[in-house]
Structure 1
Amino acid sequence: MNSDKIAKAVLFLASVIILLIAGGMIYSLVEGSIPAFKNFGLSFIWSNNWNPTRNQESYGALPFIAGTIITSVAALLISLPLSFSTSLFLGEYYRGTRLAKVLGTMVDLLAGIPSIVYGLWGFYVLRPLLIDLGLPNQGFGIFPASIILAIMIIPYATSLSTEIITMVPGELKEAAYSLGATRMEVIFSVIVPSARSGIVAGYILSFGRALGETMAVTMLIGNANRIPESFFGTGNTMASVIANQFGEADGLKLSALIAIGLLLFLITGIINSAGKLIIKRME
């Protein structure tokens, strides 16, 4: 057997293993969530009742779906102008300079910090600051959770966007400059249109990370099992309720938590698929 056949066999085996792992994850989630859907049906998805009292158990995923979507969308909106501006700074305005290299290294470092560290910073620094500014609920809630999520995904989105911006061919920019275009015109008429599919992909990946974030959100969101009353109210996300209650859960409650995990898996898959369609249309 020559080296090409060996390489082909190894690559095929690796691909099969990945498929088996993905299939095993889906199977275990579906199997574990069957009791919850048998008891509550599809109303489990839009029910907002969460009552773990034995013999009166009733579970619904809507409060956690709402908390997840609200915090993730808010984090993306907060992070977008900051990460986009920083990526232009690194990838175009100060590209190749010592300042850009130092700042780029810091961005990469921040992207690799564990989420629990962000959570600790949010709890001991951001939360007291928001309390001093008069935020209700002792500084817990959707708003601080969204801020900490935004801070977490800014380095991730910035790093991806910077890489895409630096890949725009120099010939395109030089042609625009030769026609008398200003720096700003080159950025928004040449660089951004050329790199937009990659930039959008970076933000979709960042949004996916925000959807599944657990520890940092758990430490700040307030962990209230209800639909948030306002942007400054307390709530819970799909990931945080699983992290908080999975260890002590059994029976129907355990199945309900697994069903929430399955829904989170499906939501993430839908968003990623929608992102791919958007990127294809933008190319």
Structure 2
Amino acid sequence: MKQASRTWFITGASKGVGQKLVTRLLEQGHRVAATSRTAASLTQAFGAESDRFLPLEVDLTNDGSVRQAIEKTVQWFGVLDVVVNNAGYAQQGTVEALSDDEVRSNFEVNFFAPMAVVRHALPQLRRQRSGHIINLSSIVGFQGGYAGWGSYVASKFALSGLTESLAAEVAELGIRATVVYPGPVRTDFLSNGALAVAKRQIDDYAEAKASLDLHLDTLHGHQAGDPDKLALLIIQAASVESAPLHLFAGKIANELAAAKASAVSRDLEAWRRSSEATDFAE
């Protein structure tokens, strides 16, 4: 059965998963407001604005720019059904090497920008008593044991945690929230132009250096995840009544999530008696 047409707001829509998502949604007859740093990149990819497509040039790190984009979307389409926070970038570098500016810039895009989108979208969703917020995290936002990726991991954990809290907060309003944890996806995400590498390197951290080399020299271009299929999975999750709060995407993501759950369970059981001994004795 064909799904009813809905209005989607998608950040980071000019390339990668965001571009695939917009393409599929327009093919299926949905209405899409798409954001990018330049409107030209959007019109080049999807054509001029129309009654089903609204290209928006947005600075996601500017609260006013985000607010105006949401307001224009509601004015253009009259409704807002699904919000997808897709924009983000990877920052590589050991915790000791990363500068304060590098960490804060990573969080500005990966966490504070989605937070702003959600904050400005919620009044419209609350008035409607409906809507679905989908935040693109990463498997590293659930299983974070990757040397040299502390800033990126932390920003994605923050986004995942925000989504869990948000889901509890808005459920009574008829609004749903989902956090997506993709494994490695075959886009330009790890290309030299997209991946931020710490300006300062510390030779002592061999594991972090090996991890960077692996991602640049071996993984880039050979990621298992298909961005088009990931886009279809997101659409599927948004179309069902019982949408998942946690949506893992890809075999690698599933395996890593299961391994993390198992490791947490082992630690929980091994330390249960000592842990519970910290409570007051009643």
TM range (shorter): under 0.3
Q: Which of structures 1 and 2 has the larger relative contact order (alpha carbons within 8 angstroms, sep 6+)?
A: 1
Higher strand share: 2
Query: Which entry has the higher C-alpha Rg, 1 or 2?
Result: 1
TM-score, structure 2 normalization:
0.27
TM-score, structure 1 normalization:
0.26
Higher helix share: 1
